[in-house]
Structure 1
Amino acid sequence: MKKRAEKYVVGNFKGGVGKSTTVQMLSFESAFSRNLKTLVVDLDMQGNTSDVLNLTHMNYSEEEGGGDLLNFENTINDVLMYNLPVEEAVYPIINNLDVLPANISFEMFDDWVKKEYPESTDQFRYIENKLSPLFEKYDRIYFDVPPSISVYTKSAMYMADWVIVILQTQVKSMRNGLQYMEYMEYFVDEFETSLKVVGVIPFMLEASDAVDKEMYAQAQQIYGEHLLNTVVLKNARLKRYDGSGITLEKTKTGKIEYWDRRTHQIFKDIYDEIETHKTWFN
């Protein structure tokens, strides 16, 4: 039986809330901890996730699928604008984890696709058609998107099966999280997709901060059972991964170093909660 990837988009209309970090970590856990064939599709012209995953590649041995820094000669822009076969723009990061990278050249695509395909649905279908050869090669696909209502964001919603909403315990993020879910509901009705909210992740909570506690209590009331029990507290190791790539350092006795182990466990727990939430829709 052919594979049919489950596709996830991670969203919020506010930047800097942890969307890309969540894509990076969940895709890593999917590949490394769950042994699922996993792909990250970078739909953000800043290419931050592509860069972090490239650094991650350098942190692992050849046996683990790692190696020297990769040269992303081909990107998603070459696939969408210049008819490069999509398989030629996919790069291995570690065993079971690949990336379809983006860089600043992707900025040109927005104007191009709107000129070539004036109707929104045609834009989405064009992108889906270009990427579709990958859909039967993977178990999981994660879309990393910019924090805006753009062709990229809407195309990811159109292709995805599930949406994961990132929520920071701040007033603006709470508001933007709700706006994102309201827009998603409109999008599903307008374009007749089957996209479902599979979880809301509370991110970078200051456990001892009274305002954060108040915001988290409000989030529990607003999002109800969609809000995950696992909270991502402020985490220096996650911040370090932005510059070092994702690591699993070992002590002299061969055990995973404490802060790496603790950080990865957070996202393993998130991964498992999302899997449980998916059963609600069966």
Structure 2
Amino acid sequence: MTAKIYVIGNFKGGVGKSTAAQMLGFESAVEKKRKTLIIDMDMQGNTSDVMNLTQMNFKEDGALLDYDNTIAHVLMEDVPVEEAVYPVVENLDILPADMAFEMYDDWIKSQYPDSIDQFKYMESKLAPLFETYDIIYLDVPPSISVYSKSAMYLADWAIVILQTQIKSMRNAMQYLEYMEFFTEEFETNLRVAGVIPFMLESGDAVDKEMYKLAQETYQDHLLKNVVLKNARLKRYDGSGITMEKTMKGKLKQWDRKSHELFIAILDELEEHEKWYE
């Protein structure tokens, strides 16, 4: 078994990359029953925090995990990668990050001046995980950096997050253009699984106009499933992902809608992948 690896990207912050990584990882594990790992490569550690809160929501004792080891320990202190992976829910694990990972940029460049050697170093350290999981999602910071470039090198597929704002549209296109340059420069096989339109205001005329422009720009790559501004998704940042039930044992409406949307997005991304067969 070799994992399919996805990098989730846009060169603009705050567009929903981390939310997409968290929700796609959760649905891959819970709905699709695939052994799934999220690797947090953003030193802010937002996804690590949300996954910690999520695991607490599904445990009887409701205790937070102590992330004794993180991706920084694995890459800079030779901690075996298996010792930095933590369970979230059944089939879903997290390799967390924290602010210590900020030091990695300077550290890896001092050890390996050439970009390709930097990428191969990270690949060698994370490689034991590639045979353990079905799916791996890489959550990266919004910049052209050693973090995002290493993720592009590791990944088989790119999922681009598009917010319907002029700046995000431009950054998403820049991401795709840079990805094309990167795959040629380093001879990788990274392909676009899809572009997810994110956080639209359903009644906003500007958002509708921008979505139409996105359709013209990204054409078939643009997903039909759209992530509208959603209070429940925003709440997950502070509460972790939930699956609250009614008295009759059914998912409450807002949780149900959020989960159904990302299950549909997973299905649509898989359809897109078949185009390359």
TM-score band by shorter chain is over 0.9
> Please, what TM-score do these two structures have when normalized by structure 1?
0.97
Q: 3-state DSSP class of the match of 1:224?
A: helix
| 1-structure distance, mates of 2:62, 2:223 | 35
2:84 aligned residue (83, 89, 92):
89
Q: 3-state DSSP class of the match of 1:99?
A: strand
How far off is 1:61 after superposition?
Answer: 3.3
- Counterpart of 1:206, as a letter, is E
| 1-structure distance, mates of 2:73, 2:205 | 48
How far off is 1:207 after superposition?
Answer: 1.5
Aligned equivalent of 1:270: 265
- Counterpart of 1:27, as a letter, is G
- Counterpart of 1:239, as a letter, is K
How far off is 1:68 after superposition?
Answer: 1.8
Q: Does 1:218 align with 2:195?
A: no
Aligned equivalent of 1:106: 101
Q: Alignment identity in percent?
A: 67
- Counterpart of 1:17, as a letter, is V
1:34 aligned residue (21, 32, 35):
32
2:7 aligned residue (9, 20, 31):
9
| 2-structure distance, mates of 1:221, 1:159 | 30
Offset from partner CA, 1:221-242 (integer Å, 9 cap, x none): 0000000000000000000000
User: Residues 158-197 of structure 1 correspond to what in structure 2 (within 5 A)?
Assistant: 158-197=153-192
Pairwise CA RMSD of aligned residues?
Answer: 0.8
| 1-structure distance, mates of 2:88, 2:59 | 11
- Counterpart of 2:172, as a letter, is G
Aligned equivalent of 2:234: 239
Aligned equivalent of 1:53: 51
| 1-structure distance, mates of 2:104, 2:5 | 22
Aligned equivalent of 2:72: 77
| 1-structure distance, mates of 2:99, 2:201 | 34
How far off is 1:55 after superposition?
Answer: 0.1
- Counterpart of 1:180, as a letter, is Y
Q: Does 1:118 align with 2:116?
A: no
How far off is 1:67 after superposition?
Answer: 4.7
> Please, what TM-score do these two structures have when normalized by structure 2?
0.99
| 1-structure distance, mates of 2:274, 2:247 | 41
| 2-structure distance, mates of 1:81, 1:126 | 11
How far off is 1:163 after superposition?
Answer: 0.1
| 2-structure distance, mates of 1:205, 1:45 | 27
What runs of 5+ residues in structure 1 fail to find an aligned partner?
A: none
Offset from partner CA, 1:90-135 (integer Å, 9 cap, x none): 0000100000000001111110000100000000000000000000
| 2-structure distance, mates of 1:108, 1:10 | 22
How far off is 1:137 after superposition?
Answer: 0.2
| 2-structure distance, mates of 1:85, 1:13 | 31
| Matched residues, number | 277
| 2-structure distance, mates of 1:61, 1:172 | 41
| 2-structure distance, mates of 1:140, 1:27 | 8
| 2-structure distance, mates of 1:75, 1:208 | 42
| 2-structure distance, mates of 1:149, 1:177 | 12
Runs ≥4 residues deviating over 4 A: none
Offset from partner CA, 1:152-206 (integer Å, 9 cap, x none): 1000000000000000010000000000000000000000000000100000111
Aligned equivalent of 1:128: 123
Q: 3-state DSSP class of the match of 1:167?
A: strand
User: Residues 244-255 of structure 1 correspond to what in structure 2 (within 5 A)?
Assistant: 244-255=239-250
